[in-house]
Structure 1
Amino acid sequence: MKIYFAVMAHNDEEMFSRLVDSLAPHPVIAHIDAKREVRGFRAGLTSFRSASVHFVNDRCPVHWGGFSVVEAMMKCVDALPSEANEGDYVVFLSGNCYPLRPLPEFVEAISASDGGVFCRAYDLRSSDQRWDMKRVTRRHWFDLRGTLQGFIPPLAARILRKFMAAVSRSQKIPDTLQPVAGSQWMALPVACAREAVAAIRTSEFRFLRNSYAPDEMAFQTFVHNSRWSSKTIAGGLESTQNGKVSGLQNFHYLRDDMNGYVSSSDVTSGIEANDFFIRKIRSSQQEILGQIDARITQGSSS
């Protein structure tokens, strides 16, 4: 079994390099937001690390909350080498993720799952949060707002997005699909990931094009409407409180409030929870990164 880490980065070249170092010797498929130059992300890598990193050539501009995030994920799957076996894994990370435990322990957990799918999710239709279904029935136009921000002031782009959302017709969800939501940070067998990409590109999944944060719904909806649902670690859909995917993390420590970057106490909580990764973290947080590295070194030597 081989693990491919699909890393989607849009800033902080130094943090990207540090993350890639921590993932060695496993191969990394890197999608760099098309709004940024790849040169800076390549520059921080040593020649040894560069050999294990493949930068996606067919990049897209990524906008928060938009379908463009899903496009970036799919392009990472497209970029998997032809020799990748169906039983190998794709692990999705952001450029601001970082391991909390020695990587061999994560690899062992994936291997021990015997082909399991790390994709926890809950049913949007059964949620007691009225907002959940509005994520998919309303059109939210986040990619439109992001595209316009380079041409008109951000506030004007935001107002236009909200206006478009208010006047747009509701989106119809196919009767064949049960929409679900879960963390974007998943680990999928290569066969599952490739099937998901093929399905998401069909008209059946078109209703997610202008949904709210489809990166939390697209792959997850495919998985839990397919044969792969029974292979998930939970064996199917779960329940969540307050419609928050942070309660259904796969291998990350996720805070309820994901605004801003992690604190030292967040790292401590993640370590105590025995989670494998944490986000969001940046390269300037040297003290926190040192705290994590010391813990990993201690774990590797014990």
Structure 2
Amino acid sequence: MHKNYIILAHTNPEQLKRLVSRLSDGCSSFYIHIDKKSEINAFLACFENAAHVTFIPDRVDCIWGDFSQVEATLNLINEVISGGREGYTIFLSGQDYPIKSNREINAFLEKNSGFEFISLEHKPIQKAHYLYKERVEAYKINISSKRWDYVIVPYIFSPIDVKRTFAKFLLRKVSVQDLLLSFKKRKQPFAEHCKGPQWWAFSSNTLHKIHSYVQDNKEELFSYYKHTIYSDEQFFHTILWELMKRDPDIRLKDYLHYINWEREGVELPVTFDRNDIEELVSQPEDKLFARKFDARYDAEILDKLDKHLQQQCIAAKDRNGKEP
């Protein structure tokens, strides 16, 4: 089964090279978006003459938790649709790493062919929930492209974060025009909204359905989600939920990432280090990738994972009497 890996990256070219090298198995293509704020030449230098790697030219200034992340992802999808091979498209970041061997990844996808892998967190966001007011009704206004440098302009009849919004207005960071948005109820493109982790893996059929839906409704979708906080955790989830209402062929399983959001006393999600090897290799068969890693902080955890995966391949070869 061919795999199209789409990757959002912004830092550490050598770590990205290592990720691609680990996943390269002769039946994988890689489509990479480098944040427009990042110098791309260092990345290009790591992949000279790599025919299976494409750096897409349509780059976006990506902002954390912002629609710009969705735009970059859509640009990657466009590349896959226009030139990629049929098979699963798997969405990763440059700070992910496999915790299963390529043999195990391929076997899992073959075994579960016909399923889409994404977390919708079980049900749409309920209107009575505070997240609905923040993620569906309010407007997100970017002050700059720096992380956290934004304000939430609440719908006046659903007030949230009012003090912070007006404080930034007084500091002349929010225009009067933006502030007046609080009197305008947002026109929502969907009756129900879903959320979940950003990462997913879609079959060719479903990827084409999502791509077609976006193209047919692009103006409305872009107009809404460009003012939606954490739209990268809602955009594909909500579109897929809408498609599933009339397409019984779309069947879901949980997303393929392991991410630790629960450890106390550290910045979350956890940046894994050499002490986390047992936690990573003990994950169930449906967790194929983990995030996040930073080789500048600790490259030994990647060495340990490589060693473990190599041992898995040797064991499989011994069992089967052939190369895995």
TM-score (norm 1): 0.81
**2-structure distance, mates of 1:133, 1:71:** 24
Which residue of the partner structure matches residue 6 of structure 1? 6
2:305 counterpart of 1:292: yes
Among all aligned residue pairs of Structure 1 and Structure 2, give the percentage whose two residues are the same amino acid.
22
**Residue in 2 that maps onto 1:19:** 19
Q: What is the aligned partner in structure 2 of residue 233 from structure 1?
A: 252
Post-superposition CA distance 1:192-251 (Å, at most 9, x none): 2233234335244232222121111111111111145753334xxxxxxxxxxxxxx511
Q: In structure 1, what is the equivalent of residue 260 of structure 2? A: 255
Once the two structures are superposed, the pairs formed by residues 239-278 of structure 1 within 5 Å of their partners are: 250-256=255-261, 258-259=268-269, 261-274=271-284, 275-278=287-290
CA distance in 2, matches of 1:43, 1:51: 13
CA RMSD of aligned residues (A): 2.7
Mapped partners of 1:210, 1:116: distance in 2: 31
Q: Identify the residue that residue 237 of structure 1 maps to in structure 2.
A: none
Do 1:100 and 1:296's aligned partners in 2 also have CA atoms closer than 8 Å?
Answer: yes
Matching residue's letter, 2:271: Y
Partner AA of 2:205 in structure 1: A
Instruction: Give me the whole-angstrom Cα distance separating, in 1, the residues matched to 2:272 and 2:128.
Output: 29
Tell which has more relative contact order, 1 or 2 (C-alpha 8 A, sep 6+): 1
Q: CA deviation at 1:41?
A: 0.6
* Partner residue in 2 for 1:282: 294
Q: Which has the larger radius of gyration?
A: 2
Match for 2:210: what amino acid? A
Say whether the 8 Å CA contact 2:141–2:151 is kept in structure 1.
no
2:224 matched to which residue of 1?
Answer: 207
Residue in structure 2 matched with residue 242 of structure 1 by the alignment: none
**Number of positions where the alignment pairs a residue of Structure 1 with one of Structure 2:** 276
Secondary structure of the residue that 2:6 maps to in structure 1?
strand
Query: Cα 1:283–1:300, aligned 2, differ >3 Å: closer, same or farther?
Result: same
Change (3 A) 1:216 1:159: closer
Distance 1:110 1:214, change over 3 A: same
Contact conserved, 1:101 with 1:295, CA < 8 A, in 2?
no
Alignment partner of 1:68 is 2:68: yes
CA distance in 2, matches of 1:280, 1:233: 24
Query: Structure 2 vs 1, CA of residues 231 and 191 (structure 1 numbering), >3 Å: closer, same or farther?
Result: closer
Which residue pairs with 1:116 in the alignment?
A: 115
| Unpaired segments ≥5 residues, structure 2 | 154-163, 166-173, 263-267, 316-324
C-alpha separation in 2, matches of 1:256 and 1:230: 32
| Counterpart Cα distance in 2 of 1:266 and 1:141 | 38
Q: Give a deviation string over 1:112-143, Cα, whole Å, max 9, x none.
A: 2222111220334338742245212211224x
Q: In the alignment, residue 200 of structure 1 is paired with which amino acid?
A: V
- Whole-Å separation in 1 of the counterparts to 2:152 and 2:235: 25
Report the Cα distance in structure 2 between the residues aligned to 1:267 and 1:67, rounded to whole angstroms.
34
**Structure 1 stretch 51-60 or stretch 220-229: which is displaced more?**
220-229
- Output the CA distance in 1 between the equivalents of 2:243 and 2:105: 26
- Whole-Å Cα distance in 2 between the matches of residues 277 and 15 of structure 1? 15
8 Å contact from structure 1 (residues 4, 27) kept in 2: yes
Quote the offset at 1:295 in angstroms: 1.1
Question: Unmatched 5+ residue regions in structure 1?
Answer: 235-248
* Distance 1:287-1:159 versus aligned 2 partners, 3 A rule: same
Map 1:90-105 onto structure 2 (within 5 A).
90-105=89-104
- Work out whether residues 200 and 218 of structure 1, in 8 Å CA contact, stay in contact via their aligned partners in 2: no
CA change 1:195–1:177 in 2 (3 A) is: farther
| Residue pair 2:47, 2:53 contacting (<8 A) in 1 also | no
Amino acid at match of 1:277: F
- Pairs within 5 Å for 1:177-188: 177-188=191-202
- Once residues 82 and 136 of structure 2 are traced to their aligned partners in structure 1, the CA distance between those partners, rounded to angstroms, is 34
Match of 2:188 in 1: 173
Against the structure 1 CA distance between its residues 266 and 183, is the aligned structure 2 distance closer, same or farther, given a 3 Å change threshold?
farther
Taking structure 1 as reference, are residues 260 and 141 closer, same or farther at Cα in structure 2, changes over 3 Å only? farther
Q: Secondary structure at the match of 2:309?
A: helix
The 3 A distance-change label for structure 1 pair 88 and 59 is: same
CA distance in 1, matches of 2:52, 2:276: 30
CA contact (8 A) 2:7 2:92 kept: yes
- Structure 1 match to 2:36: 34
**What corresponds to 1:217 in structure 2?**
234
Residue number in structure 1 paired with 2:203: 189
